[in-house]
Structures are given as structure tokens and as C-alpha cells.
């Protein structure tokens, strides 16, 4: 993780992506594009820096979230994207 992504949380990155925020218990729709999630099946980790889907086993951190939403093709590109929007 780069210096510019260290303090980012999943809820913050979801807002940056224009995605729906997790509910009050930390559940959200799975960001995996191959998992058409009708009911929130993904959950944010207690430190809010990771997420995991209990239905399809997709998981990751903020960079993986950006890749899942299609804003980047890999984690390196996701870090660059974050650095651009943070500046």
C-alpha cells in the first residue's frame, strides 16, 4: 500500500467510487462484477480497511475494491488512480 492509500477505509473509497455505502452493521452488496448480489452479502472488516463476500468468497482491501468496480485493471493502477484523485 502506498502512502496515499494507508489511511483510506472501504466506506471512504465506496463514496469516492459513487457506490452505495454499507449499512449500519457493515454489510454491503458484493463489488465482484461476476456475483449479481441481490442481498448484501459482503461485510467490511472491523478495521474498515478490508471487505469479504460470504457468498462468493471475493475479498480484499481498498485497491481490490477499485479493481472490482472497474476503475483500474490491477492493484498498481488502482493505487495510481487513488493518488490522482487525492491530489
Domain at 46, CATH number: 3.90.580.10
User: Which of 63, 2, 57, 42 lies closest to 71, judged by CA?
Assistant: 63
Q: What is the pLDDT of residues 10-65, one digit of tens each?
A: 999 999 888 888 999 999 999 888 888 889 999 999 999 999 999 999 999 999 99
Structural domain that includes position 50: 3-86
pTM for the whole structure: 0.83
Number of structural domains, the chain?
A: 1
- Strands (E) across the chain are located at 27-28, 42-44, 50-53, 59-61
Q: Binning pLDDT at 50, 70 and 90, where does residue 4 land?
A: low
What percentage of the chain's residues is helix, strand, coil (to nearest 5)?
Answer: 35, 15, 50
Amino acid at each position: 500500500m502506498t502512502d496515499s492509500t494507508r489511511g483510506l477505509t472501504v466506506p471512504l473509497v465506496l463514496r469516492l467510487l459513487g457506490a452505495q455505502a454499507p449499512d449500519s452493521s457493515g454489510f454491503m452488496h458484493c463489488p465482484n462484477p461476476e456475483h449479481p448480489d441481490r442481498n448484501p452479502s459482503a461485510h467490511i472488516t472491523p478495521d474498515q480497511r478490508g471487505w469479504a463476500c460470504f457468498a462468493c468468497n471475493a475479498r480484499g482491501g481498498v485497491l481490490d475494491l477499485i479493481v472490482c468496480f472497474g476503475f483500474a485493471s490491477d492493484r498498481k493502477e488502482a493505487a495510481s488512480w487513488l493518488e490522482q484523485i487525492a491530489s
